[in-house]
Structure 1
Amino acid sequence: MDSNSIDTMRRALLQSAAVGMALGAAGIDAVFAAGAAAEKPPGKPGDFDFLSGNWTIRHRRLKTAGTQDWDEFDGEATCWSILGGVVSVEELRIPARQFSGMGLRVLDVEKKVWSDFWVNAKSGVVVPPGTQGHFIDGAGIFEADDKDGEQAIKVRGVWDRITPASCRWYQEISRDGGKRWEGNWYMDWTRA
């Protein structure tokens, strides 16, 4: 892809983002809903290659749903692409909190769909459910149904702002079937 095509795509993405921000949360949800109804682009080996390498990460995690009370802290990660780009492994570390874990992203080559899983180092257990998703217009969008206690929720993880030197991952939760979303964790990645 030449630089003109990339610039055109980037411009279209930025314009779409500006429109979504102008419309507010309802507008953003409408964009995701329209994307959910449309045919998804096929996942392919190497989609997560941008993540390979060493990173420093600035975390911002919501302490309590419905508030603006955030916990901010630093972390780091080392990521590898293996099996010809069909698997991406992330070792996440938060030294100040003696915390570590592993992100595991696996492409179902036949279905052409990515699944994103988390493994907490303390338990060594893959935490269900894995979120499934695709890369659409330069952003990886992954969703799953889950529970918060007894309440059914939807979880969305998004990889965006992807450049050679940085990227962002954030998570949103919906408690009303996807009508409204609340961002509750933002991770700004900078290549180390």
Structure 2
Amino acid sequence: MSTIAKIEIEPTNPSDLKRRSLLQLAAGLAATATAIQTTAAISSQATPAATGKPGDFHFLSGNWKIKHRRLKDKEWDIFEGEASVIEILGGVASVEELRIPARDFSGMGLRLLDTERKLWADYWVNGKNGVLTPAPSVGSFVNGVGTWESAYKDGEQAILVRGIWDQITSNSCRWYQSISSDQGQSWQENWVMHWQRA
């Protein structure tokens, strides 16, 4: 991974302190509630490169503006959002609050490092229902590019999902997602997020 300037996030007002405390509490509760699920999910998938280490998501800490491009009904939907991300537990957890005000949408990304397996588990919580995804995507970074994969079924059809973090600098990065319905022989990109530090 490229050298990235260390960014410290310090709350500046009471509402920031409250938000940080709530995010830390949510991360701790989710980590406790899903430890068994994480182990099961990791062991049931093809094992990605075991290169995860504390601080891998340090680059994402801070406040961001995000340009989204999402494939919906074979058309690209373009919209903007924002996010606040904090790194906790000595770099073995990263908590993201994603907000899309124009769509009245919010959610939380929770990334946890299994330090023994050296793999990251990436969970999602939709702000509308507060439910943690039952199985995370699992992955790690290799040469500055992070790759996470998960699987689910759409009826009887097995679908693979791949999320990739790349183009990482001190002020920007990209995340994009692709899906495969043919066991990874071909992939269709369906979501791209360009992050710019606010």
Instruction: Give SS of 2:102's match.
Output: helix
The structural deviation recorded for 1:147 is: 1.8
Q: Residues 44, 96 of structure 1: CA spacing in aligned structure 2 closer, same or farther, 3 A cutoff?
A: same
Instruction: Give SS of 2:134's match.
Output: strand
What's the counterpart of residue 55 of structure 1?
A: 64
Checking the alignment, whether the CA contact within 8 Å between 2:50 and 2:119 is kept in structure 1 is no
Checking the alignment, whether the CA contact within 8 Å between 2:62 and 2:197 is kept in structure 1 is yes
What's the CA shift string for 1:125-168, capped at 9, x where partnerless? Answer: 11233100010110110001112233110000000000001000
Is there any run of 5+ residues in structure 2 with no aligned partner, and where? 4-45
Say whether residues 1:172 and 2:178 are aligned partners. Answer: yes
In 2, Cα distance between equivalents of 1:146 and 1:2: 33
What's the counterpart of residue 156 of structure 1?
A: 162
Query: When the two structures are aligned, how many residues end up with a matched partner?
Result: 157
The percent identity for this pair of structures is 62
Higher relative contact order (CA 8 A, sep 6+): 2
What's the counterpart of residue 185 of structure 1?
A: 191
In 1, Cα distance between equivalents of 2:167 and 2:195: 10
Checking the alignment, whether the CA contact within 8 Å between 2:119 and 2:140 is kept in structure 1 is yes
C-alpha RMSD of the superposition: 2.1
Checking the alignment, whether the CA contact within 8 Å between 1:117 and 1:126 is kept in structure 2 is yes
Q: Residues 98, 178 of structure 1: CA spacing in aligned structure 2 closer, same or farther, 3 A cutoff?
A: same
Say whether residues 1:42 and 2:51 are aligned partners. Answer: yes
In 1, Cα distance between equivalents of 2:137 and 2:82: 22
4+ long deviations beyond 6 Å: none
TM-score, length basis structure 2: 0.75
Q: Residues 38, 156 of structure 1: CA spacing in aligned structure 2 closer, same or farther, 3 A cutoff?
A: closer
TM-score, length basis structure 1: 0.77
Is there any run of 5+ residues in structure 1 with no aligned partner, and where? 4-36
